Structure formats: structure tokens, C-alpha cells
Structure 1
Amino acid sequence: MIWKHARRQAILIDGDRRSSVFMAQSRLSILGVCFALGYLLVMVRLLDLAVVQNESLFQEPLNAAVARAQDIKSLTPRRGDIYDRHGFLLATTLKTPSLFVDPSLVFDETSLSVSLMKIIPDLNRSKMSSVVQGKNRFGWIAHNITPAQQQAVLEIGDPSLGFKYEYKRVYPQGSLFAHLVGYTDRDGLGLAGIERGYDDVLSAGEDVHLSLDLRLQHVVRRELGTAMEEFTAKAGSGIILDVHTGEVLAGVSLPDFDLNAAGDAEDREIFNRLTLGVYELGSMFKIFSTAALLELHNVPMSKTFDARKPLKIGRFTISDYHAKKRVLTIPEVFMYSSNIGSALMGQMIGGKALRAFYADLGLLDAMRFDIREIGRPIVPKIWRKSTTLTASYGHGLATTPLQMSAAVASIVNGGMAVHPVLIKVDEGAIAQTDVRVISEETSEKMRKLLRLVVTKGTGRNADVKGYALGGKTGTAEKSVGGYYRRDKLISSFVGAFPMDNPRYVLMVMVDEPHGNKKSYGYATAGWVAAPAVKRILTSMASILGLPADKYDADNDMAVSLEPYIHDKKKKKKKIGGKSLVSY
């Protein structure tokens, strides 16, 4: 009896044990299934991130660098805008889409390439193929595409394509301000013009307001282009400068290029002839040698110089292009642009004094300006006695059109040194510097002489009645291979107005013009550059609302110089007189 009871108890204990083991095994199985489902969910999520959403957890270091660069770029400030003096937009930054591809998701390379080239015609087929066939998970197809192109790409519906947004520099005025505004690279680094000169300011997100006037810029570019076309010229430059503040109101170099496609421009288009190109500008230097004579020696206008025969300097001869072959007064030397008379003036001044005078005007050193494309003047290393004679009429010296304009401004504005600026000067600012280069008396004498050139001398084709323009022609032969060529000229005219109280300097330079029927075959400054300045002044007066004075020839400021002019016979008042061909 006792044995049966014990056996029953043993059976019950064994059943309980088996039940516990079974329950434990069941719980472990359920837990294992849960872990398996968890791992499965993680793998599904990873697959979704890597393939469906086109984000790989295992991208190569290059792609990681691209991503980091994108993040860093997004933290930099948007580049500042550039405006003209009246608030017209010249340069701005827009956020635009750039197209990329994930080569691992490309199904039909040929079909994709054909479709994309229809949308973006300037794509390079071979370059695109190398990107599409690449082993990386990321490759650029095209940067800064248009909204219309982006929409067309989206309509393809290809999962291998995607977009990232980048900043793009945009220039609404195209080529109008090419050389002064300049351009940036794709990453926003300034490479030329004010974009380079003020890169630190613009990169910090600050806007820049220039001294330039969009309306005047258009006029100078149009009239310079007209002169180049009319005389089939190689190149040219033009400028309008405020003689008191030094502000550049317009500055053009032709040929130019579209800033929105700067990468496609040729070297001859990129070259800035206004500030970087240095040229022998010929008789314009007679302005400075004459001013030096009047300032340093205080000679009367009746002072004479014997221009009856050429001057001999060693094996070289100084002669006049249109010789008068007589003794000339100072006004006559200047009006007829006599090389012989100017050389004799230089001899009287002396080499040391003449060189110092040119240096004070900033003609012998590279000037400081708001852009970095600045040319260094070409000056003889050794200043000999012969150099003094030839430098008095601009032979053997080369400078930039910008420097020439600034030096003329210093002569006509009362004698105060002018330093050109490209940044807008605050309203009311008048005196830019307190450095005097000549006296007010000498400045007034020079204004009369400059006016005389336009009323009776080589600059008559620049005259605009009622605006008292004064100026000087300059025609120089270019040096090619060490020899001066009569068939390759630099023809220029620089003027200022109104001469009784000058406010603006205007200059046009034309490189290698060719004579035509209208100019009787001549390609000199009086025929080429002077008329262009006249057209610029006429349009400028209309734009700025400058009223013309009632012209009275008897009260012209140049009339006081007539007693010093000794022509034996009266000249006919007609355009085409031979005095226009004088250099």
C-alpha cells in the first residue's frame, strides 16, 4: 500500500517537470522568432535606405566628401549682390538645381543619354557616359540647370537621376559690364573685376554699389562699337570719369563677352584694354608737357618755338605730321599738335623736371584701383636727353586709358590730383584729395588750350555747340617687332566739359582703325575717336538732363588765345580740313 502511494507521487513529480521543460522551450522559441523578426525589420529598413531612397550606407569616401562639402557650402552666407549707382542689379546669386546620377540604378544607358541630351543640348556625350558607367554611387551630370530643364528631367521618370541645389552667380546685364564687374568660378570665388577685387566683402554677404551708371555704360559701349565697326578696328576702350570725385561712371573694353558664359570667352575678349592694356597714346602727352612748361617756367602764351625744320637726334628725326614750317606760339604748337614744338618745350623743361611732373600725375607707375587687372606703364629704363624730347609728345611712353583719363582730370579740375574709384562715393563728396599737381592759374590756361583744339584744331569733329568741350587728339604708330608701323595706329581723343567749370572727362581709344571713304582714307584720331566722343557727349547730356548753353562764338573761352595764332590765310569752315589729320 505504501509502495503504491510512493509510485503515484513519483509519476506526478515527473509530469510537472516535463510540463516545465515544455513551457521553457516554447518561450525560447517565441523569443527566437521575435528576435528574427526584429533583425528582418532592420534589414528591410537598411534595404529601403540603400536602394529605394538612394542613400547608401556604404558609399565611398569621395561621396562622403561631396556630402560634407554640400553641408559646408550650405552654411556659408549667400554672396552679396552688385549694383550700379542707381540701384540697377549687375550681379546676383540664385539657388538652382544641379543634376546627378546613381550609376548603379541606370537600366538603359543609351536611352538615358539620348533623353538627357535632348533636354540639355550642351552635354558632352563621352563625358556623360564615363559618369554613368562609373563605379561610384554618385556622379554629376550638369550644374545649374534651368527650371524648365529640371521639369523635363522629372518627366523622364528615371530613378537613377536626382537633384542637389547649388548657388549660381547670375549677371542680368550680360556683357555690358564684363571687364569691371568681372566673374566668379562655380564655387563663388571671384576671378576678375570687382568680383575679385571685393571678393572678401561679397563672400561675407555684403552688397556692393558701384560708381557706374548703366545708362552711360550703354552709350559708351554703343558708340565705341560704332567707331570700331565704321573703321574696321581691332579693339577699343572708352571711359567717362568724374573730375572731382574720381568716380568711373562708364568704362568699356571691346571686344567683350557674356559674363554668364565667361568660360567660353576667348583671351582677346577677356583682356581688359581700359585698365590692363598699356598703349602709346601719342599727342595726348602734349597736355602734360605743355602744362609742365606753363607751371614750372611761367612763360607767356606768346613764347615761340622754331618748327621750320625737323629736329635731328642721332640717327632719328622728329618731324610734324602736317608741318607748318614756321615759328609757332604755344597755342599754335598745341592746336596743330606739333611734335617739333613739343620736343623743344621738353628741352626747355629738362629731363628731370619733366619726368617728375609725369610721376606726380601718376603716369609712370601702376595705379591703385578697385580691381586688380591693372597694367604697369612702360617707361624707358634710362632717361636720356633724347627721351625728354620724345616723351614730351608721348613717343616711347605707354600707359593705360584709365591713367590717361585720370591725369587729364587732374589738369582740368583746378589742379588737384585725381585717383579713379569704382565704388560709389557718398552724395555731397567733392574733394577727393588735397594733393595739388598744378596751380589753378595753369589749369585755367590749359582749359583754354584744350578748348582751342576743339574749336580750331585737330579736335573739331568732337565739338558739340553749347557744351564747351575741350580736348586733345592722339594718334600713335604701334610698335610691332621693334619697328613702328604707319599702317597700325592707336587713335584716341580725350575731352572734358564744360571747360569753364569741368565736371566730366570722356575718352575713346580705337586700336588699329582703317580709313574709309568718309574719312578720305585717314584713320587718325580727329576722324576716328573725336566723332565718337561727340556722340557720347550728346547722348550723355540728354540722359543726365544737362542743358546746353546758348553758344556765342565771340565769347568762347578760346577767343582770348586768337591773338597768338598767326595763320596767313583764313581756313574754310568745313569738316575734312587737312588739319584734322595732324597727329
Structure 2
Amino acid sequence: MSFLSRVMVVKRRAHFSSDRKGRSPVNGAAFEGTRKRKSSQARNRVGLLIAGFAAFYVLIGGRLVQYGVAQPEITSSILPADRLMASRPDIVDRNGAILATDIRTVSLFAEPHKIVDADEVVEKLSTVLTDLDVKSTYSKLKSNSRFQWLRRQLTPKQQSQILALGVPGIGFRPEKRRFYPGGRTAAHIVGYVNIDNRGVAGMERYVDSQGLADLAAVGMTSNQPLEPVKLSIDLRVQAIVQDVVSASIGKYQAIGAGAVVIDVHTGEILGMASAPDFDPNDPAAGGEEGWFNRMSNGTFEMGSTFKSFTLAMGLDDGKMNLNSTFDARFPIRIGGFTIKDFHGKGRVLSVPEIFQYSSNIGTAKIADAVGIEGHKEFLTRLGLLSRMKTELPEVAMPSQPRQWKKINSITISFGHGVATTPLQTAVAGAALVNGGKLIEPTFLPRNQEQADVVATQVLKPSTSRDMRYLFEWNGANGSGRNARVPGFDVGGKTGTADKVVNGRYAHDKNFNAFLSAFPMDNPRYVVLSFSDEPKTDKGNGAAIAATSAAPMVKEIISRAAPILGVKPKFGNDGSALLVSY
């Protein structure tokens, strides 16, 4: 046995001998207490460990619940893939011609954490995307984010060229892009969308407001095609109106122009254009001036076209008839102002002559006979003092005096003092010739039965009949002669209004308009045109409505009437045929 083994045996024998002979009851209790204390400490440690793990897992579970109910964050304008590919409905004209549709495209993105050399990536991309913002792109590639858009909506050629570069850390995501085949043709009606294919203006915005935007927000849109949205406009008529309006800018050196064609029995807009305009495929290129829809979102003093409403008011109120006469020999002096006629005859005028010669004096006396409250109520009834209701979002509120006085009523009678939109002026004009029914304008198809539901009788049928006579009279004998189209019996009223500049009327800046209807024996359409600040540098006399706005109507009707199905009539009874040999 080794020395170490012997020592261990001796120690063991000594231990047991001592335990048998010398252990006392007190030492046994102490040993038992120590054992229990250690056992309790162990249990406490295990309990603390279990509690710690439980708290950890409760925390994790709580965060998971929080993430589950939280709204998704939008980072760098990144939309979920299903929303990037979500379809918008096509927009078509009344005959099914496409005005707006979706096309597939791709967008370029980067994952900065995978980019090794940002300078090299920027240099290579610049060879394809020549207009690339180098500084901004470099900042994106050096950022700590995991996703950055570099360029939205690439062409197939650009995608192919970038793929050929073999740059790591960049990729493509499929998207939808809105495409407008007609370009500027119906820009202010159709509107446009933003980079994320959401409606910004026009009927595109209207479509979103009808629930499409809400569905997209909750991810309920998909890549499935949607039912097309059909508009009331006829693309053929719209192209004519847009062409005439755009050409008038250069022809009369005007700062703006516009025109609209309305079905007087249904309120449907067949064509409407405002210039300057823009290309919805690249709306930023048009600038704010091009975005401005002067037809519905601009308010103007409509000048002598308002005399149509003043005469209708007098006829409807029973203060006069077509055989009544008014003394227009002397100017009217009121409130420091002098009301006079620009083409005064210096004699007593009949009602048709007041309309034909555009007498301010005669019109003022008709308004005075009706009274201030009656005048205000009549214009309100025709919708000329309130915001027009229609689908188009861009609609302005008319302006009027805060307090109507006699001088206000007199000046408003011939078109100064109240500013309305050209579109609502045309809508009120339709009520003058369609039997006296005010029908809210619409850019969606509407049949006669639907129109009757929304129509409001605002004039007596006899008043409408008299106004048709006055329109026809002025078209044949007065300022409307420049709008006459052989065979189509065009009638209407011109309006040449001085514009307000710095609170005063400027005699060298005019707003010229022409409110017309055709055919006057049974009106079907109202056409209103205007030219904003036409010039006379070329000596063409364009500063008055008869030689600027009226010719625009003539060209629109001569080109659009056959498309609208209006047959020309010749001879006194309309039965003669136009024969060419």
C-alpha cells in the first residue's frame, strides 16, 4: 500500500471514531439546518430563473401583438408589392375609346447594405440614366437603409441596359404606370395620377374618391382588371373643342381660352377644354399655368352674356314681355357712376333690340324693375351664385358682393360685379333654352329619365320659349352673326367684359365670351367659348367677343354638329336641300 493510501485510511478511521464517541445532539441539528437553508436557496434561485424566463416571453409576446395591430410604416415611398401592381380601371369615352389605361413597367431599387462600391454603381448607372441625380443617388447608396428607390417607371430599353451592367445590390420591382393615349386632348377632364398611381386631379381623382383609394389603402385592390369608367364626353367632339381652343391662343394672342359643349336635355358634357393645358403623361412639364382649368375652376365676370339672364328674369317675373319697351336715350347716373351704352341708339328700345344692341341702360332698367332681392333670388335659382355640383373636383366658388345695393344690381345686370365659372354660365344658359330646367352638369353618361330626376324647373316654359326667340334674333341680326353656321341655326349672346386689375377695370384687358345654342328651332346643345385678354396687335379686332369668342363657336359647331347627329336645314321651312354641281 502506498504512503498516500495509508494516510487516507488513518483519516477515515479517525473520523468515524470521533463521530461515534464525541457527536452531540446540538451538532446534528446544526447540520440539518444548514441542509434546509441550502435547499431553500436552491428553490428560490430556480423560482427567480422561471420568473425571468416568463417575463422575457411575456415581453416578446406583447411586442408581437403590438406589431400585429400596428399600422404599416411607409419608408421611402415603398408600397407593398400587391399595391404596386394594383389595377386602376380604364377610363373611356361614351363610345368606348380609351382615355386612360394601365401599362406594366418596372422601377429600379437598391439594397445599400449589399453595395460594395457606391461610386462604381453611380458611374455605371449614369451611362444609362443620363439625367441621374448623382449626389442624391450616392447618398442613398451610402445610407444605412436596406431599400431605396433609385428610379421609378423605367422603359424596357433602360431595364435591359441596366441588367447588362451586372451591378450587384440593385434590382427591379414590377409596377403599373398610367398611360393617356390622347395626351392633351382631354387633360383637364381626365386628370392625372401621381407616381404611385393615385388620382391627383380630374376624373382620376373622382374615381379614387368613389372608394378605389379606400380599397387600395387596406390592400383590397389586386392585379385583376376592373370595369372601365365610361365618361359622357365624345372623344371626337373633345378633340375638336381642344383643337379650336388651343389654336385661339395663338390666333388672338390671348393668355387663356376655353370652350364647352353641353347636351341641354341631359346635362352631359360632350366636350370641354381649357388652354393652356398639359400632357397628363408628363404633368410636371405643363406647370401650374397648364394645370389650371379655367372652365370650371376659374371665375370671371362674364360681361354681356349675363344680359341673357337679366332679360329672362324680367320675362319670368312678368315685369315685361317681348313687346315691352324701355327708354335708353340717356345714361344712368348712380353712386358716382355713369351707366351708358357702348353702341347706343339714343332712343326707346324694344326688348329684342335691348338684346341685339346689348344695351346696358335697357338691361339696368329691367333689373331695377325686378328689384334687388328678386334679382339675387333669380341668379341663385339658376345656380350662378353657388358652387356648382358635378363630378369634377376642380370647381370654384363664384364671388358676389357681400351686400347687394342698387348699384350692384344694376352692374350685375350686364355682367359686372359677379364672377362665375364659364361652365356654370353654360349650364344656366342651357336652362334658358331647354324649357326652363336647371340640370346639374355631369361627366358621366346620363339618359333622359335620369336627367328628369335631377332637373329643377327654374323658369316658366314660356320664358324659355321667349329666350329661344331672343337667341335666334341676336344670332341672325346682332353680335352672334359671326357664329352662324349655314344650316344649323346658331343663336346666342356675346359678352365683352373689362377685367379687374389692381381693383380697377382695365379698358385694355378684356374677357370675351359667347353663350350660344343650336339648332334654335329645337335646341339640343349649348356651346360656350371664351378668350382671355385677346390682343389686336395684328389689327384683327379680336378685342371684342364678336370677333374672337363667336368665331370659336362657329368652328366648333361646323365641325362637331354632324358628329353629334344634328342634321342641317336650309330654306325658310328647313326642307330645302343644299346642292353642289
Residue number in structure 2 paired with 1:80:
89
Q: Aligned to 2:546, which of 526, 530, 534?
A: 526
Q: Distance in 2 between matches of 1:545 and 1:73?
A: 43
Equivalence map 1:279-298=2 (5 Å): 279-297=300-318
Residue number in structure 2 paired with 1:128:
137
Amino acid at match of 1:263: A
Residue number in structure 2 paired with 1:70:
80
What is the total number of aligned residue pairs between the two structures? 493
Residue number in structure 1 paired with 2:358:
337
Residue number in structure 2 paired with 1:321:
342
CA displacement, residues 389-444 of structure 1 (integer Å, 9 cap, x when unaligned) = 11111110110011000000011001111210011124875635452111222111
Residue number in structure 2 paired with 1:174:
183
Residue number in structure 1 paired with 2:566:
546
Residue number in structure 1 paired with 2:426:
405
Q: What's the CA shift for 1:103? A: 3.4
CA displacement, residues 299-345 of structure 1 (integer Å, 9 cap, x when unaligned) = 23221111112110121111111221111110100001011110011
Q: What's the CA shift for 1:225? A: 1.6
Q: Distance in 2 between matches of 1:554 and 1:546?
A: 13
Residue 455 in structure 1 maps to residue 465 in structure 2: no
Residue 535 in structure 1 maps to residue 555 in structure 2: yes
CA displacement, residues 198-257 of structure 1 (integer Å, 9 cap, x when unaligned) = 213444545311111111111111111222211100011110001011001111111111
What root-mean-square deviation, in Å, do the aligned CA atoms of Structure 1 and Structure 2 show?
2.4
Contact in 2 for aligned 1:417/1:436 (Cα 8 Å)? yes
Q: Distance in 1 between matches of 2:526 and 2:443?
A: 15
Residue number in structure 1 paired with 2:247:
226
Equivalence map 1:242-257=2 (5 Å): 242-257=263-278
Q: Aligned to 1:119, which of 128, 136, 148?
A: 128
Residue number in structure 1 paired with 2:532:
511
Contact in 1 for aligned 2:305/2:414 (Cα 8 Å)? yes
Q: What's the CA shift for 1:508? A: 0.7
CA displacement, residues 112-155 of structure 1 (integer Å, 9 cap, x when unaligned) = 43442342333222212212233334322101111111111111
Q: What's the CA shift for 1:63? A: 11
CA displacement, residues 423-475 of structure 1 (integer Å, 9 cap, x when unaligned) = 11248756354521112221111111111111110111100111111111011
Equivalence map 1:352-431=2 (5 Å): 352-426=373-447, 431=452
Q: Which of 110-119 and 351-360 deviates more?
A: 110-119
Q: Distance in 1 between matches of 2:516 and 2:165?
A: 61
Contact in 2 for aligned 1:281/1:398 (Cα 8 Å)? yes
Q: Distance in 1 between matches of 2:74 and 2:202?
A: 35
Contact in 2 for aligned 1:281/1:475 (Cα 8 Å)? yes
Contact in 2 for aligned 1:307/1:327 (Cα 8 Å)? yes
Q: Distance in 2 between matches of 1:262 and 1:388?
A: 42
Q: Distance in 1 between matches of 2:575 and 2:476?
A: 12
Contact in 1 for aligned 2:265/2:448 (Cα 8 Å)? no
Q: Distance in 1 between matches of 2:549 and 2:386?
A: 26
Q: Which of 323-332 and 95-104 deviates more?
A: 95-104
Equivalence map 1:181-220=2 (5 Å): 181-199=190-208, 200-203=210-213, 205-220=226-241
Unpaired runs of 5+ residues, structure 1, are 1-61, 557-583
Q: Aligned to 1:93, which of 68, 88, 102?
A: 102
Q: What's the CA shift for 1:545? A: 4.3
Amino acid at match of 2:144: K
Q: What's the CA shift for 1:168? A: 2.0
Amino acid at match of 2:275: L
Q: Distance in 2 between matches of 1:218 and 1:68?
A: 37
Amino acid at match of 1:153: I
Q: What's the CA shift for 1:108? A: 5.1
Contact in 1 for aligned 2:76/2:149 (Cα 8 Å)? no
SS of the residue corresponding to residue 282 of structure 2 reads helix
SS of the residue corresponding to residue 529 of structure 2 reads strand
Contact in 2 for aligned 1:63/1:137 (Cα 8 Å)? no
If the length of structure 1 is used for normalisation, what is the TM-score?
A: 0.80
Equivalence map 1:258-277=2 (5 Å): 258-277=279-298
Amino acid at match of 1:436: Q
If the length of structure 2 is used for normalisation, what is the TM-score?
A: 0.80
SS of the residue corresponding to residue 106 of structure 2 reads strand
Amino acid at match of 2:134: R
Contact in 1 for aligned 2:252/2:542 (Cα 8 Å)? no
Q: Aligned to 1:157, which of 141, 151, 166?
A: 166
Contact in 2 for aligned 1:246/1:432 (Cα 8 Å)? no
Residue 482 in structure 1 maps to residue 503 in structure 2: yes
Contact in 1 for aligned 2:439/2:455 (Cα 8 Å)? no
SS of the residue corresponding to residue 365 of structure 2 reads helix
SS of the residue corresponding to residue 420 of structure 2 reads coil
Q: Distance in 1 between matches of 2:332 and 2:77?
A: 74
CA displacement, residues 549-573 of structure 1 (integer Å, 9 cap, x when unaligned) = 01339999xxxxxxxxxxxxxxxxx
Q: Distance in 1 between matches of 2:414 and 2:74?
A: 65
Q: Distance in 2 between matches of 1:243 and 1:457?
A: 23
Larger radius of gyration: 2
Residue number in structure 1 paired with 2:42:
none
Q: Distance in 2 between matches of 1:89 and 1:72?
A: 25
Q: Distance in 1 between matches of 2:361 and 2:104?
A: 63
Q: What's the CA shift for 1:173? A: 1.7
Amino acid at match of 1:546: V
Contact in 2 for aligned 1:416/1:433 (Cα 8 Å)? no
Cα 1:439–1:286 shift into 2, 3 Å: same
Contact in 2 for aligned 1:245/1:430 (Cα 8 Å)? yes
Q: What's the CA shift for 1:65? A: 6.1
Contact in 2 for aligned 1:202/1:208 (Cα 8 Å)? no
Q: What's the CA shift for 1:359? A: 0.8
Q: Distance in 1 between matches of 2:301 and 2:78?
A: 53
Amino acid at match of 1:99: L
Q: Aligned to 1:141, which of 150, 160, 167?
A: 150
Q: Distance in 1 between matches of 2:77 and 2:499?
A: 55
Q: Which of 245-254 and 172-181 deviates more?
A: 172-181
Q: Distance in 2 between matches of 1:336 and 1:432?
A: 38
Amino acid at match of 1:84: D
Q: Distance in 2 between matches of 1:88 and 1:210?
A: 10
Contact in 1 for aligned 2:303/2:497 (Cα 8 Å)? yes
Cα 1:481–1:162 shift into 2, 3 Å: same
CA displacement, residues 243-273 of structure 1 (integer Å, 9 cap, x when unaligned) = 0110011111111111112234311111111
Contact in 2 for aligned 1:465/1:551 (Cα 8 Å)? no
SS of the residue corresponding to residue 291 of structure 1 reads helix
Q: Distance in 2 between matches of 1:189 and 1:158?
A: 31
Q: What is the aligned-residue identity percentage? A: 40
